């Protein structure tokens, strides 16, 4: 993944979003640590970012503004409960101004759905504490489930089974078909039979013509005979 493919968060504003009446966070380059007691709204910051991008889950008159960079462009998404706007590179007019339009455009630009976003970037505190107490094999299974790998394995198994069926069907078709040399011999034999039938048909037509006293096409009548009767 190149540097242009990485999402860089610049700032986030949460208004009436759960514990945050009006909070603005500016993200510096590098890692950002959020420290506070339980219930202070640390996880809500991540949920606010997800809501700004995908717009699901809020039930009150909230507003979230997220400023971020991706692919060499700067985006500002402003989302409320009943409206949303997405601005590109500081422009005064939005490139999308409906809830559905903003969500779909961001989903395409980010290349992932809401579920994929949470499975890839978001892990709750309870899940982390449970994972810390697991053994290596249990932890691997847990991460596989959280990251959605089980669905991928199921899809891979279905693809392998379908491939096996297709290969078996192809083998059955090949077994029921003659080899190319046999096909060539049959074609040559068929052509020879057709040519023989044509020759016999011509010979039969000539014999019938001769037996009726009619000269074959192109033949000359004997001297002294005109129209089939001798001259006197």
- The residue among 77 and 153 whose pLDDT is bigger is 77
Sheet holding 73-80, edge to edge: 20-26, 8-17, 63-70, 73-80, 84-88
Helix 149-176 with 136-146: angle, nearest 10 deg? 80
Looking at residue 38, its pLDDT comes to 83
Looking up tokens 């847990």, which residue turns up? 142
Instruction: Report the domain count for the chain.
Output: 3
Looking at residue 124, its pLDDT comes to 62
Does 217 reside within a domain?
A: no
| 82-94 confidence digits (pLDDT tens) | 999 999 999 999 9
Which domain range does residue 142 map to? 123-177
Q: How far apart are CA 60 and CA 51, in angstroms?
A: 13
Looking at residue 217, its pLDDT comes to 54
| 7-46 confidence digits (pLDDT tens) | 899 999 999 998 899 999 999 888 888 888 888 888 889 8
CATH of the domain at 34: 3.40.50.300
Looking at residue 1, its pLDDT comes to 46
Q: Which pair of structure tokens corresponds to residue 97? A: 């101004």
Q: Do 66 and 158 sit in the same domain of this protein?
A: no
Looking at residue 14, its pLDDT comes to 94
Lowest mean pLDDT segment, chosen from 7-21, 50-64, 99-113: 50-64
Mean predicted confidence (pLDDT) in 1-10: 72
Q: Do 84 and 111 sit in the same domain of this protein?
A: yes
Looking at residue 58, its pLDDT comes to 65
Q: How far apart are CA 154 and CA 138, in angstroms?
A: 19
Q: Taking all residues of the chain, what is their mean pLDDT, rounded to a whole number?
A: 81
Looking at residue 218, its pLDDT comes to 54
Q: Can you state the percent helix, strand and coil of the chain, rounding each to 5?
A: 50, 20, 30
Does 8 reside within a domain?
A: yes
- The residue among 27 and 125 whose pLDDT is bigger is 27
- pLDDT above 90 for 104: yes
Note the maximum CA span of the chain: 141
Q: Do 90 and 100 sit in the same domain of this protein?
A: yes
Looking up tokens 């309870």, which residue turns up? 126
Q: Which pair of structure tokens corresponds to residue 158? A: 């279905």
């Amino acid at each position: 993944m190149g540097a242009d493919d990485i999402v860089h968060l610049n700032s986030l504003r949460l208004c009436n979003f759960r514990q945050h009446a009006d909070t603005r966070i500016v993200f510096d380059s590098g890692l950002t640590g959020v420290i506070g007691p339980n219930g202070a709204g640390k996880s809500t910051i991540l949920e606010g970012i997800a809501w700004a991008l995908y717009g699901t889950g809020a039930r009150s008159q909230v507003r979230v503004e997220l400023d971020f960079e991706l692919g060499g462009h700067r985006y500002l998404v402003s989302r409320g409960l009943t409206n949303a706007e997405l601005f590109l590179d500081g422009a005064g007019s939005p490139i999308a101004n409906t809830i559905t339009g903003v969500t779909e455009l961001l989903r395409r630009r980010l290349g992932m759905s809401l579920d994929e976003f949470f499975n890839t970037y978001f892990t709750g505190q309870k899940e982390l504490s449970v994972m810390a107490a697991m053994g290596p094999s249990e932890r691997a299974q847990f991460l596989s489930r959280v990251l959605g790998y089980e669905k991928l394995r199921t899809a891979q198994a279905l693809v392998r089974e379908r491939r096996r069926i297709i290969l078996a069907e192809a083998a059955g078709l090949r077994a029921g078909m003659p080899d190319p040399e046999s096909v060539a011999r049959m074609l040559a034999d068929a052509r020879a039979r057709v040519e023989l039938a044509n020759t016999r048909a011509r010979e039969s037509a000539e014999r019938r013509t001769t037996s009726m006293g009619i000269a074959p096409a192109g033949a000359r009548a004997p001297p002294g005979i005109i129209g089939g009767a001798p001259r006197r």
